[in-house]
């Protein structure tokens, strides 16, 4: 198939390798009509609002299973959206990235099914395994909630990584593409009010020093994405945590050094 033009969302959606049934849905609830709408919004955020730049696009595999592993920040997961937009818009052949949504999302009206229509899935190891076995692309933030809710003072310092993604990669023999996101860490310079978080029983309670004081609208920072060369972890998925930790550290260092490079390269947060 000829390469679809860079920003032609219709052609790019058609070029996606999605298995659909007679009603146009894939088993995870993805529907291309819904996806097109979401990608239009994502493209606007990617091109106009965040004016994102992506380096190392050639490291995004054209096909086959892959796990994108990235730093996570910014109070709201715009970093996931921007990575998804990059893999959809930038390579010669679009890749649809499946990211994991939190377990409370299926209990929220509309979000419950819209995320599924856009190809996003409930974050369980079983779902990841199944998608990787179908040779799909998934996005993992090993910092998890610790990363996204980190306060402004901790920007660009990676929170501890979980080990689950490494076990999964070893088990399914999936290459890992490390990703560094520069910009998201400044999109919502937040303080974490721990007493309020405890009061409301949420993992964090971020506030920002400008109206509306809760980080709903991100600042129009400039996003810079760095896709690193794929790593192929080798070993036994049932190894002890210490053995896996060494492999996880390698991935973490790779991301951290790309972050340092990106921070050196950039002249300003907003342009």
**Tally of CB atoms within 10 A around 255:** 22
Contact 132, 174 (CB under 8 A): yes
Cα dihedral: 149, 151, 156, 162 (round 10)? -40
Q: Which CB sits closer to other proteins, 21 or 232?
A: 21
Between β-strands 137-140 and 66-70, what pairing exists: parallel, antiparallel or unpaired?
A: parallel
Three-class SS state of 209:
coil
Q: Which CB sits closer to other proteins, 129 or 266?
A: 129
User: Cα(182)–Cα(227) distance, rounded to whole angstroms?
Assistant: 12
Subset of residues 88 to 107 that bind other proteins, contact rule: CB under 8 A: 103-107
Q: Which CB sits closer to other proteins, 109 or 212?
A: 109
Subset of residues 130 to 169 that bind other proteins, contact rule: CB under 8 A: 130
**Contacting other proteins (CB under 8 A), which of 10, 27, 64, 160?**
27
Minimum distance of other proteins from residue 34's CB (angstroms): 10
Residue 45: partners with Cβ closer than 8 Å, 6 or more residues away: 78, 81, 82, 85
**Contacting other proteins (CB under 8 A), which of 9, 60, 116, 251?**
116
**Contacting other proteins (CB under 8 A), which of 1, 2, 33, 110?**
110
Structure tokens at 246: 């060494």
Total residues at the site for other proteins (CB under 8 A)?
25
User: Cα(189)–Cα(167) distance, rounded to whole angstroms?
Assistant: 33
Cβ neighbourhood burial of 79 (10 Å; 0-12, 13-18, 19+): buried
Q: Which CB sits closer to other proteins, 34 or 254?
A: 34
**Tally of CB atoms within 10 A around 227:** 24
Binding to other proteins by residue 21, rule CB under 8 A? yes
Binding to other proteins by residue 202, rule CB under 8 A? no
Of 52-60, 119-127, 213-221, 234-242, the window that binds other proteins (rule: CB under 8 A) is 119-127
Of 68-76, 115-123, 155-163, 228-236, the window that binds other proteins (rule: CB under 8 A) is 115-123
Q: Which CB sits closer to other proteins, 235 or 237?
A: 237
User: Cα(192)–Cα(174) distance, rounded to whole angstroms?
Assistant: 36
Of 23-31, 172-180, 188-196, 200-208, the window that binds other proteins (rule: CB under 8 A) is 23-31
Binding to other proteins by residue 127, rule CB under 8 A? yes
The binding site for other proteins (CB under 8 A) comprises 21-23, 25, 27-29, 103-113, 116, 121-122, 124, 126-127, 130
């Amino acid at each position: 198939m000829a390469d679809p033009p860079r920003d032609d969302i219709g052609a790019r959606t058609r070029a996606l390798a999605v298995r659909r049934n007679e009603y146009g849905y894939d088993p995870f609830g993805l529907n291309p009509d819904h996806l097109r709408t979401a990608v239009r919004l994502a493209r606007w955020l990617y091109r106009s609002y965040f004016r994102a730049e992506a380096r190392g696009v050639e490291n995004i595999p054209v096909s086959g299973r892959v796990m994108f592993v990235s730093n996570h920040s910014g109070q709201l997961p715009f970093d996931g959206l921007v990575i998804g937009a990059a893999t959809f818009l930038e390579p010669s052949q679009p890749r649809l990235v499946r990211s994991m949504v939190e377990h409370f999302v299926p209990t929220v009206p509309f979000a419950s099914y819209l995320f599924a229509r856009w190809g996003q899935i409930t974050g369980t190891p079983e779902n990841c395994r199944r998608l990787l076995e179908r040779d799909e692309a998934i996005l993992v933030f090993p910092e998890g909630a610790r990363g996204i809710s980190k306060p402004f003072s901790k920007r660009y310092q990676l929170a501890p990584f979980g080990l689950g993604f490494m076990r999964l990669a070893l088990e399914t023999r999936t290459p890992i593409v490390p990703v560094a996101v520069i910009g998201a860490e400044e999109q919502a310079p937040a303080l974490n009010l721990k007493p309020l978080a405890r009061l409301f029983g949420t993992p964090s309670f971020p506030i920002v020093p400008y109206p509306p004081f809760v980080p709903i609208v991100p600042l129009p920072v400039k996003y810079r994405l760095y896709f690193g060369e794929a790593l192929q972890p080798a070993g036994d998925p049932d190894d002890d945590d210490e053995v896996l930790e060494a492999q996880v550290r390698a991935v973490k260092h790779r991301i951290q050094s790309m972050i340092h490079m990106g921070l050196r390269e950039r002249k300003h947060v907003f342009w």
